[in-house]
């Protein structure tokens, strides 16, 4: 008896799917179909597997062993890597999220095409920038990708309470500030974007100095930062944005190492007045780990005045080791978002009440300070 014609797995599936949409052809590999189904017109019959009965096997030799997990027998003519994603999805096999990523499946082609499309939009100016200079596409695809390795691999940031930031609508995130250089603001921005279920963007309020420095000014605007003034903050909040503020300012970021995790004065409570006028919740945020990246043991005030900067830090490594001394220590970070404080229940004139602003400011500050102490007690080590 002549051997039956062997139909390659991919070819058989593509013809079957094209002629009988919505029905999965039985190959005898699982119990999802009946072995005795008649063949479709124009197709060669599929011979049963060895030992299944009803005829001789089309390919001599012992039957391949079944997979211990899925119970399927692999077909020698169709290695898994050569099967298209559609066939794998039809069989119930897992397909990587976002499509195939391997070079054999065209993943690299799509990545290259996406990169070229991005460059074309940048060259032709076919991209959107809001009134504050925020470039969402550049931030998501370039700036976040540059900072993310520092966030994930170097500082190994752990995020808690991210659900306290609302899924939509405006919110004001108030955090402590430290670290000699404002890396905590960048890590906070990545934490909100990557960990929030809605993938929200944090619009940070920055000091005037940020917007007079060359290069830094442009990057800050593109990343969504804006001047720390009540008017800009209120406009963003009314638009439904998540706005971040660090009321300690330079007093917090430039404090000596001996005063680490001791909150400085929170200004005059302007952030509370802004939240009251916009009617958005205030979300306290505590950051542990940033204080130790550059232990500031001194401040060259004369040199700072000459350079026009708030302080000139002296650390155990800077300026003694030159540029190498500017490398931050790889501390372990924790960012915790606390319970939001509602402001929508106050009347419109509450924003002008100095006593109310003082009380709410003190409440936010005390909640952040208490959480800092709690996180420090729970921390096993500065670096682990």
What is the model's pLDDT at position 267? 79
DSSP reduced 3-state for 260: coil
What is the model's pLDDT at position 92? 40
Reference 286, options 384, 188, 380, 204; nearest CA is 188
Gap between the Cα atoms of 219 and 205, Å rounded: 14
Can you list the domains of the chain with their CATH numbers?
161-293+328-378 (3.40.1130.10)
What is the model's pLDDT at position 126? 87
In which residue ranges of the chain is pLDDT below 50? 1-61, 64, 66, 68-104
What is the model's pLDDT at position 107? 78
What is the model's pLDDT at position 14? 40
What is the model's pLDDT at position 105? 53
> What is the token pair recorded at 14?
């593509």
Model's pTM, two decimal places? Answer: 0.72
**Pairing relationship of beta strands 298-299 and 313-314 according to DSSP bridges:** antiparallel
Give all strands of the β-sheet with 282-288 in edge-to-edge order: 158-160, 334-337, 282-288, 171-175, 242-245, 202-206, 226-227
What is the model's pLDDT at position 110? 86
51: alpha, beta or left? (left if phi > 0; alpha if psi -120 to 50): left
Radius of gyration, CA atoms only, the chain = 30
DSSP reduced 3-state for 68: coil
Task: Summarize pLDDT for 6-29 with one digit per residue, the tens.
Answer: 444 344 444 344 443 333 333 333
């Amino acid at each position: 008896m002549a051997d039956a014609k062997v139909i390659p797995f991919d070819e058989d599936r593509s013809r079957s799917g094209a002629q009988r949409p919505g029905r999965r052809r039985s190959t005898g590999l699982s119990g999802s179909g009946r072995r005795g189904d008649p063949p479709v017109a124009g197709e060669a019959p599929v011979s049963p597997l060895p030992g299944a009965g009803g005829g001789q096997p089309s390919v001599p030799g012992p039957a391949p062993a079944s997979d211990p997990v899925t119970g399927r027998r692999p077909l020698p003519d169709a290695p898994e890597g050569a099967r298209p994603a559609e066939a794998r999805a039809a069989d119930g096999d897992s397909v990587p999220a976002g499509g195939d990523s391997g070079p054999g499946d065209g993943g690299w082609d799509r990545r290259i095409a996406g990169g070229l499309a991005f460059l074309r939009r940048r060259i032709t100016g076919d991209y959107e920038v809001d009134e504050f200079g925020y470039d969402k596409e550049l931030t998501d695809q370039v700036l976040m990708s540059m900072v993310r390795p520092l966030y994930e691999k170097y500082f190994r940031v752990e995020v808690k309470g991210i659900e306290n930031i609302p899924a939509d609508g405006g919110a004001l995130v108030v955090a402590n500030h430290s670290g000699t250089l404002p890396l905590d603001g960048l890590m906070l921005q990545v934490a909100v974007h990557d960990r929030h279920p809605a993938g929200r963007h944090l619009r940070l309020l920055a000091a005037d100095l940020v917007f007079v420095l060359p290069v830094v000014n442009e990057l800050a605007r593109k990343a969504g930062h804006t001047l720390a003034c009540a008017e800009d903050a209120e406009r963003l909040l009314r638009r439904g944005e998540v706005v971040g503020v660090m009321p300690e300012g330079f007093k917090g970021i430039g404090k000596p190492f001996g005063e680490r995790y001791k909150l400085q004065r929170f200004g005059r409570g302007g952030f509370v007045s802004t939240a009251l006028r916009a009617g958005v919740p205030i979300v306290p945020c505590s950051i542990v780990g940033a204080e130790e990246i550059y232990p500031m043991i001194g401040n060259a005030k004369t040199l700072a005045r000459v350079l026009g900067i708030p302080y000139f830090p002296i650390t155990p490594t800077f300026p003694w080791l030159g540029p190498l001394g500017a490398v931050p220590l790889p501390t372990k970070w924790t960012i915790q978002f606390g319970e939001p404080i509602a402001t929508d229940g106050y009347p419109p004139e509450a924003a002008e009440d100095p006593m109310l602003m003082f009380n709410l400011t003190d409440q936010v500050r005390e909640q952040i300070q208490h959480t800092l102490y709690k996180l420090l007690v729970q921390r096993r080590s500065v670096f682990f």
